[in-house]
Amino acid sequence: MPNHKSAEKRDRQNARRNAVNTANRTRLRTQIKKLRAALDAGSIHDSRALLSETVSLIDKSVQKGIMHRNTAARQKARLTMHINKLATK
């Protein structure tokens, strides 16, 4: 338990930020799972539509500090690569 008013406030702030970060991280993971499911199903049109949304969400996650920029770049590259492979088949 915090012993000072400032520590109590910091606890409240941390709880709020934790809730926001968790919601954003969950939204990101769900979107990536949707894209991967579309890729596994082999639907190129759905995959391309989901790719733009997913890349946008990944970029927003970097801005919000949810994900490191190198991790984001790696994920975007891999997802794009999978869609390009699917398109050539």
- The CATH number covering residue 54 comes to 1.20.58.110
Structure tokens at 53: 């949304």
- Band of residue 1 on the pLDDT scale cut at 50, 70, 90: confident
Residue in this structure with the two tokens 């990536």, named with its chain if needed: 32
Does the pLDDT at position 9 exceed 90?
Answer: yes
* Cβ density class 67-80: b for 16+ within 10 Å, e for less: beeeebeebeeebe
- Identify the domain containing residue 60 by its residue range: 5-88
- CA 1/CA 38 separation, integer angstroms: 47
Domain count, the chain: 1
Note the pLDDT tens digit of each residue in 25-64: 999 999 999 999 999 999 999 999 999 999 999 999 999 9
Tell me what the pLDDT averaged over the chain comes to. 95
Site of tokens 């000072």? 4
What CA–CA distance (Å, rounded) separates 80 from 43? 14
pTM: 0.85
